Amino acid sequence: MDFMEIYHNVIDGQAPEVEAGVKAALAAGVGAEEILNNALIAAMNEIGQRFEAGDLFVPEMLIAARAMQAGLKILKPALAKAEVKAAGKVAIGTVKGDLHDIGKNLVAMMLEGSGFEIMDLGVDVTPEAFVSAVRNGAQIIGMSALLTTTMPSMESTLKALREASLREKVKVMIGGAPVTQDYANKIGADAFAPDASSATRIARQLMES
Ligand code: B1M
């Protein structure tokens, strides 16, 4: 399968064409994860590199992101082959000050697909909102950050959980492009996941630990 057409349509921000391309690829029997990795995520990586090089700016990045989201919407049912039994309750959000939600949505989608109940807290989520989610039954907190400047909010959330005496009641998983295992160790999170499929595997392990 040649993914270049979908790839270029994401970069050019052509949402209807991306939607049509993803539908056609699925109809031709191409796997959803293959489309995701080789067309959608690959295109966003290219966008990131061009942005860094100063070849494009925020508006172009935003329309490319919208085009990617349009493709993701079509992939969702194929990625989320829901299992019957709820594997656990996960409250997921992008941390305070950070508006990037594509990776967070992808992780939520994959978790949902592997049987987790998802409380999607959205973007720009304060430590207090994560704390409330634990009071409302979340067994795992999933925090996403795409900016080095917003990563410290993960540590603030852990502090808020300790101050509310809830830290022992919940597992905390973190992720996002600038986040690392070292950072997770440093701030005392229970786990780091580098991508959406490992997030699913790790969330299951956290429920068993
Ligand atoms: Co932004 N942006 N952006 N941006 N943006 C980055 C992150 C950047 C790396 C681009 C660059 O310079 N190369 C850079 C950050 C630099 C840094 O801090 N180190 C950057 C910047 C600087 C900014 C602004 C400050 C730009 C400005 O205004 N001057 C601004 C900040 C706004 C804010 O948040 N307050 C900004 C704005 C935006 C847009 C709004 C235009 C748009 C976001 C639209 C949206 O999300 N709805 C945007 C985009 C699209 C990007 C890039 C191009 C793509 C991000 C993306 O969606 N990737 C990005 C460059 C890049 O990362 N290549 C960039 C695809 C996605 C599937 O990957 O999110 O990494 P990712 O998620 C992965 C894993 O990380 C992991 O699983 C996912 C799937 O495998 N994962 C988890 C993510 N969360 C997880 C949670 C988990 C586990 C795993 O557990 C809970």
Euclidean distance between CA atoms 43 and 71, whole angstroms: 12
User: Which is nearest to 157 in space by CA: 84, 96, 85, 89?
Assistant: 96
pLDDT tens track for 175-201: 999 999 999 999 999 999 998 878 988
Euclidean distance between CA atoms 57 and 37, whole angstroms: 23
- 41 Cβ inside 6 Å of ligand 1: yes
Tell me the mean pLDDT in the region 104-127: 88
- 10 Cβ inside 6 Å of ligand 1: no
- 70 Cβ inside 6 Å of ligand 1: no
- 181 Cβ inside 6 Å of ligand 1: no
Please report the atom of ligand 1 found closest to the CA of residue 69.
Answer: 47
- 110 Cβ inside 6 Å of ligand 1: no
pLDDT tens track for 34-76: 998 899 988 988 988 898 899 988 889 888 988 988 998 999 8
Q: What is the pLDDT of residue 82?
A: 46
Q: For ligand 1, atom 1, which residue shows the shortest CA distance?
A: 100
Q: What is the pLDDT of residue 179?
A: 98
User: Which is nearest to 186 in space by CA: 162, 152, 141?
Assistant: 152
Q: What is the pLDDT of residue 76?
A: 85
Least confident of 79-88, 141-150, 195-204: 79-88
Confidence at 85, pLDDT banded by 50, 70, 90: low
Rounded to the nearest whole angstrom, what is the distance from the C-alpha of residue 88 to the centroid of ligand 1? 27
Q: What is this structure's pTM?
A: 0.87
Rounded to the nearest whole angstrom, what is the distance from the C-alpha of residue 177 to the centroid of ligand 1? 7
